[in-house]
A and B are shown apart, each in its own frame.
Chain A
Amino acid sequence: MRKYSVFAIAREAMRAHKGWEAQWTSPEPRSSYDVIIVGAGGHGLGAAYYLAKEHGITNVAVIEKGWLGGGNTGRNTTIIRSNYLYEESMDIYEHSLKLWEGLSQELNYNVMYSPRGVMMLSHNIHDQQSFKRHINANRLYGIDNEWLTPEQAKAFVPVLDISKTARYAINGAALQRRGGTARHDAVAWGYARAAADRGVHIIQNCEVTGIRRGPGGEVQGVETSKGFIGANKVGVSAAGHSSVVMEMAGVRVPLHSNPLQALVSEPLKPIFPCVVMSNTVHAYISQSDKGELVIGAGTDQYNSYSQTGGLQIITHTLDAICELFPIFRRVKMMRQWGGITDNTPDRSPIQGVTPVPGLFVNCGWGTGGFKATPGSANLFAHLIAKGEPHKLASGLNLDRFRTGRLIDEAAAAAVAH
């Protein structure tokens, strides 16, 4: 792999940019690998990269039904933060945030991580108490998070309406300055390039149709649309389709797949300096580097794999955006899409071993998986390589639904995610 640098740009500029090489190859699958990862999103590609880099396991295939990064990695609103309430959550999201900070350098790929701040609006006394509890928990754990008065919030985001007569008046906000956004495609592409450089096979347009198990119940490999591919270790990182893939091995996981929608506006001049989210009236908004307002809506209430959602969900979000930021009322929305999120009963992810020897699972990231991409991938690689979870991810096991040791971010999180 040739390194990207200012000198590379200069060199290619001299020869009409004809020397750029493909970022990753598309090889035919071998008959077997040491490890197979199902799902080439950020989490799966990242896990393959860390397997190769940190654990020396390079005989790895990442198998993808569609195209690389075309699922939720390419459909989310790219919000990064780590201000969760419980230690299990703070551990993994903060691990992830620290990896984000050095990711562009590490991958030699500009993932455009931008720590522009994530602000959560408080609209009532319950929000205020909940956010302050989060802030205190975070600060005690060494994670930055601070309380702002409405005036301070307005100073940070000048277009915010803080008047007392506003329909959704605010009484303060929580701000995590290290939170922000990154470029979603670049994360998948950067990991794919770095993993392929270390010998990982990325096999796109290849659907896993079954998981083959031996006489002892152990994993022997996967049946795919390109034939059987053997491996003693299979990691499933299939987001909204995790239930479907796990069912192939006879493992039931406590997931609901729900559509989640997002939309972007026409490009505007820079006007919005950070990410603002409001749980109470349900709005997420930031501005991409291209100038589009990126807006996240809510999930639909029912299980679905349709990658579309109801229009009433979007209009509900836009109602709130127009009230909070009256200046955006005449902005036109350009594109809208949906992804399928995999939600657990306690709204915390599942990463761990399964009852099937050799089968590992990384799922349940629900509506908030993008921010966790590097951390989740890093710890998933550890899990697959060692056969047991890293201590930062040990609480995320599948067994917690039997033992009752849930990580109840559903009730306690500042937002649904």
Chain B
Amino acid sequence: MLLIHCPYCEEDRSELEFRWAGEAHIARPENIAAISDEEFAEFFFLRNNEKGLTYERWRHIHGCGRFFNAARDTVSDRFLMTYKAGLPKQPIPVASKAAAIAEEKTVETWEATEGDAR
């Protein structure tokens, strides 16, 4: 289960309190009746589905109820940062990027954890 930092409550809370709400930073067309079918399909259906860094929205539905944005690595599921809705796409701080890379190199095996402990 993910542990998610809500930027409004300023707390790490369990994933059970949140709903994933799709890719972030998608602007609804100003005049949706005027766009072509291709543009509508692009806006409505096509998503990046990145392997790696992704920007996405979450909603703290069983908490403050607010939407916010998050940057997450879809391979490790690690959150790199969360930030308030309405802010532009945030660059990833170098420290959390380095931490994510370090984490990826950590291979947890039974021998490395349970085995040593015994």
Contacts and interface: CB of A to CB of B under 8 A. Distances in A.
Chain A complexes with chain B: yes
Interface of A: 241, 243-244, 252-257, 301-306, 308, 310-312, 345, 401-404
Given A243-B49, A312-B16, 4 more contacts: A243-B48, A243-B51, A304-B74, A402-B40
17 contacts: A243-B48, A252-B46, A254-B45, A254-B46, A255-B49, A256-B49, A303-B56, A303-B74, A305-B51, A305-B74, A305-B75, A306-B74, A310-B1, A310-B2, A311-B1, A312-B15, A401-B45
A304 B77 contact: yes
Contact of B20 (A243, A252, A301): A301
A38 B81 CA distance: 34
Contacts of A403: 37
Nearest to A306: B77
B54 A303 contact: yes
Identify whether the interface residues of A are mostly helix, strand, loop, or mixed.
Answer: loop
The 6 closest A-B pairs by CB, nearest first: A254-B45, A243-B49, A301-B20, A302-B20, A310-B1, A402-B41
A416 to B, nearest CB: 16
B116 interface: no
Interface residues of B, number: 26
B96 interface: no
Which of B19, B47, B72 has the most C-beta atoms of chain A within 10 angstroms of its own C-beta?
B47
Contacts of A241: 51
Interface string B45-61: 11111110010100000
A33 B19 CA distance: 46
Which of B49, B51, B56 has the most C-beta atoms of chain A within 10 angstroms of its own C-beta?
B49
A310 B54 contact: no
B111 interface: no
Contact of B41 (A243, A255, A311, A401): A401
Contacts of A404: 37
A401 B54 CA distance: 23
A257 B56 contact: no
